[in-house]
Structure 1
């Protein structure tokens, strides 16, 4: 890859934002194609990841890989402030060693577990300053800015992995609703099977309309949308592990190949074939 190509790839592979907003807001469950580092600085916020919920406090550092479903619910009582860094893991994948896996804090844990690390005020200040330097150097076109960007990102990931191993983790909170948590677990266990509102409602012996209403109210997504995004996350995992597009289609519960291709591209922005190729690059 020449310098111009590397610069373009770098520009498209790193996102940094320090944001402050007011008023209530919530998002449906989603995932990113990048790895996400999220520093919570203030607000009245609940963070949901897979089947767990965390009531956020200042200094909570959240780590999500590209397959973990998560959402934020801000109740709007006080301003919501956070710093977010998202990066394509291929930027640093080749820099890891047998002793130092820069992506270990994202990869070496079950999905939805140990996502939230507690850091103190001194550590918050360090991370904000490192994030500021990373943002500044990534935006300019001066000679060496690409190398410095990777260097600052690498430094930050080493530091975060140290905090991941040494600092206290916020214990996974209770799910917001017991029945919804059970439904999520049921979907996870049977993702490759036929899943419909009627079939799930029958299994849990509840009225389909009541189930649908409670699920949407507690997750921000319809049951159909949730199953769909879980299947695409599973397909990404299978493709990353070496499965072919056809194998990933079947393993993630899609019965229609054309529908799988169309849905994958809609939710990720690329076709499964292109996603598979980039993971091998």
Structure 2
């Protein structure tokens, strides 16, 4: 059964938790919010709507947001979201307004410092915002994975299972680090170092070519190793065949695209499942649900 993950929006701008808070909002009637700042960090993950963001002391006064935008506000930065007024496309006809959908992720300063003490990688987006770069953008596949991580946090928030507090820390830190990784790697050209071991190069090549034709012959040719070496390394180090690894990664790519709103029929073709019946069986075996059931369970109500 689908859980109700959506929160009713309020204009409250103070944190109640001493760690983090995460909300999913979907509004047709938009409540105005005055210019404000926080004493905590805000990660604003924009999903949909006709919205502009006004940030104090930024050259462009009203920045129109597009789905996939991530906006980061350190403490003390004044800002607010503004509903844009678009002219109706068909005058005289009633329009169905696009809902204003977003995740709002608040992190307490003390909790962020705790995470940064574990790894400075957590601080990248904050450091960029402190330099004046508040807005970043992710393409749909990566953005879909961020949404999936956010949904996992919200689902854990709504439970009372054993280990609840520990899982909240794990999932919230994973959401922040995933968001940071994808933004960083989207904005920096990441190449494989020459001294990376061969298994690392194999995995990197596969992960970067999941939407292309992949086979043992192609991997052996591209990386100048024997097919028997590839088979041996995957079995020894991952306990999977090359084919099993590729299928798992492609299924994960399909899943993330579907959760980002891309039609199932487009997602499975994109990732090389030319036959829907085979895709359906593989997806059900991997995730325990049919593709449609999985989307219905994990997609937030609009």
| TM-score of the pair, normalised by structure 1 | 0.50
Secondary structure of 1:51's counterpart equals coil
> Do residues 30 (structure 1) and 39 (structure 2) align?
no
Is the Cα contact below 8 Å between 2:74 and 2:130 reproduced in 1? no
Q: Which residue of 1 aligns with 2:138?
A: 119
> Do residues 150 (structure 1) and 133 (structure 2) align?
no
Match of 2:156 among 137, 140, 145: 137
Do the aligned partners of residues 10 and 144 (structure 1) sit closer, same or farther apart at CA in structure 2, a change above 3 Å counting?
Answer: farther
Is the Cα contact below 8 Å between 1:24 and 1:76 reproduced in 2? no
> C-alpha distance in 2, partners of 1:32/1:80?
22
Secondary structure of 1:67's counterpart equals coil
Q: Which residue of 2 aligns with 1:45?
A: 51
Unaligned runs of 5+ in 2: 1-14, 87-97, 189-302
Q: Which residue of 2 aligns with 1:106?
A: 126
Is the Cα contact below 8 Å between 2:37 and 2:78 reproduced in 1? yes
Q: Which residue of 2 aligns with 1:66?
A: 75
> C-alpha distance in 1, partners of 2:76/2:147?
26
RMSD: 2.6
Instruction: For residue 161 of structure 1, report the CA deviation from its aligned partner.
Output: 2.0
Could you report, residue by residue, the CA deviation over 1:99-126 in whole angstroms, capped at 9, with x for unpaired residues?
A: 6241331135436x21111111112211
Q: Which residue of 1 aligns with 2:272?
A: none
> C-alpha distance in 2, partners of 1:71/1:95?
27
Which region of structure 1 is more displaced relative to structure 2, 42-51 or 153-162? 153-162
> C-alpha distance in 1, partners of 2:85/2:159?
35
Q: Which residue of 2 aligns with 1:258?
A: none
> Which stretches of structure 1, 4 residues or longer, exceed 3 Å deviation after superposition?
9-13, 23-26, 107-111
Could you report, residue by residue, the CA deviation over 1:61-100 in whole angstroms, capped at 9, with x for unpaired residues?
A: 1111122111110136532111111121322422324862
Could you report, residue by residue, the CA deviation over 1:125-177 in whole angstroms, capped at 9, with x for unpaired residues?
A: 111111111122234333321111111122122222223323259xxxxxxxx
Unaligned runs of 5+ in 1: 1-8, 170-281
Is the Cα contact below 8 Å between 1:117 and 1:163 reproduced in 2? no
Q: Which residue of 2 aligns with 1:86?
A: 106
Could you report, residue by residue, the CA deviation over 1:200-256 in whole angstroms, capped at 9, with x for unpaired residues?
A: xxxxxxxxxxxxxxxxxxxxxxxxxxxxxxxxxxxxxxxxxxxxxxxxxxxxxxxxx
Secondary structure of 1:142's counterpart equals coil
> C-alpha distance in 1, partners of 2:35/2:148?
30
Do the aligned partners of residues 168 and 23 (structure 1) sit closer, same or farther apart at CA in structure 2, a change above 3 Å counting?
Answer: farther
Is the Cα contact below 8 Å between 1:36 and 1:85 reproduced in 2? yes
> C-alpha distance in 1, partners of 2:78/2:172?
24
Paired residues, number: 160
Instruction: For residue 12 of structure 1, report the CA deviation from its aligned partner.
Output: 4.8
Is the Cα contact below 8 Å between 1:25 and 1:75 reproduced in 2? no
> C-alpha distance in 1, partners of 2:35/2:16?
27
